[in-house]
């Protein structure tokens, strides 16, 4: 048994989530009937100034192939801090090698055999270990993970939905309500262009107005409407006309999304309806 302890290497460390962990390395020459390690007693010998206390786990144990277990959890004096650098605790441990319990009353019992020989203490050992870590999260670990993932996801959505220009899906449709004629235009730009008379990117025959059109992405959290078309009457050529949407009059701007319309009233007899078409 003494040789078994000599071949067993134990160490301790602090995890980033405030856990005090015990690690054990089982040599391949340790007898196969030893199934793992159990901690009988754990006491706190020393601690970093910012650590208030260590709450020890009840009956920590590990299997031979698991190689680690939780000894306890530390608490910090300053609970509001997110990160703590280089904290440490020093622990005193009494532990023993774990052997299987007999399944039947007549099965061999290793512990009883040692007690009969008056050497049951041979399966126990003591150690003084220091557990430390370069960085420990002061907040609840899972809360920190959720917050970090949320910030990362929001950042990705912000880049994808806001900063990167994407082509508007579908075509811009311009309908003349008087004769029912509809023109379909591929949008010429991912950012901005003009609509209206002959000097525009998208020409509407008979139009006397000029619209400035801007393609805008949705907000970072707006997953359904990733793009919208914002129409603005050019003040130089927009005098006397109205740009309307959703029955609202005298607007200088209107946004078009899928299923929405904006109306340009050129004069008493002429108007145009603009919308995004999937055609």
pLDDT at 56 over 50: yes
pLDDT of 247 reads 44
For the beta sheet containing 227-233, the strands, ordered from the edge strand earlier in sequence to the opposite edge, are 202-203, 192-196, 210-217, 227-233, 253-256
Buried b (16+ CB within 10 A) or exposed e, 7-46: ebebebbbbebbbbbbebebeeebeeebbbbbbeebebee
Rounded-to-integer distance, Cα 175 and Cα 272, Å: 6
Q: Which domains does the chain have, with CATH numbers?
A: 2-138 (no CATH), 171-277 (2.60.200.20)
Query: 246-274: per-residue pLDDT in tens?
Result: 545 445 677 888 778 888 888 778 888 99
Tell which residue, 87, 78, 97, has the closest CA to residue 24: 97
Average pLDDT, the chain: 82
User: C-alpha 168: how far from its chain's center?
Assistant: 29
Cβ contacts of residue 182 below 8 Å, gap of 6+? Answer: 173, 174, 175, 176
Cα gap 186→172, rounded to integer Å? 6
Does residue 173 contact residue 195 with C-beta atoms inside 8 Å?
Answer: no
Return the closest-CA partner of residue 174 out of 278, 272, 279. Answer: 272
What does the pLDDT look like over 62-116, one tens digit per residue?
A: 888 888 899 999 998 877 678 888 999 999 999 988 877 766 666 666 667 776 7
- As a whole number of angstroms, the distance between CA 166 and CA 189 comes to 9
| Res 190 pLDDT > 70 | yes
pLDDT at 249 (0 to 100): 47
């Amino acid at each position: 048994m003494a040789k078994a302890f000599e071949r067993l290497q134990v160490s301790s460390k602090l995890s980033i989530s405030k856990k005090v962990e015990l690690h054990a390395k089982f040599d391949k020459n340790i007898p196969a009937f030893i199934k793992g390690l159990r901690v009988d007693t754990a006491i706190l010998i020393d601690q970093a100034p910012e650590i208030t206390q260590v709450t020890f786990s009840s009956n920590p144990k590990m299997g031979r192939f698991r190689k680690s277990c939780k000894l306890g959890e530390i608490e910090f004096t300053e609970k509001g801090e997110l990160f703590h650098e280089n904290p440490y605790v020093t622990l005193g441990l009494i532990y023993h090698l774990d052997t299987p319990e007999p399944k039947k009353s007549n099965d061999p019992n290793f512990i009883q055999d040692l007690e009969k020989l008056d050497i049951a203490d041979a399966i126990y050992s003591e150690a003084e270990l220091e557990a430390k870590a370069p960085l420990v999260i002061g907040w609840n670990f899972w809360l920190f993970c959720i917050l970090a993932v949320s910030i990362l996801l929001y950042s990705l959505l912000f880049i994808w939905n806001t900063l990167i220009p994407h082509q508007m899906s579908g075509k811009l449709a311009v309908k003349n309500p008087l004769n029912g004629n509809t023109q379909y235009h591929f949008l010429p730009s991912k950012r901005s262009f003009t609509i209206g008379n002959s000097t525009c990117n998208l020409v509407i025959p008979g139009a006397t107005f000029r619209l400035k059109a801007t393609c805008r992405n949705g907000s970072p959290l707006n997953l359904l409407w990733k793009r919208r078309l914002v129409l603005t009457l050019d003040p130089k050529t927009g005098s006397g006309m109205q740009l309307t949407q959703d029955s609202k009059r005298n607007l200088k701007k209107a946004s078009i999304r899928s299923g929405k319309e904006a109306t340009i009233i050129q004069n008493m007899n002429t108007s145009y309806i603009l919308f995004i078409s999937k055609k």
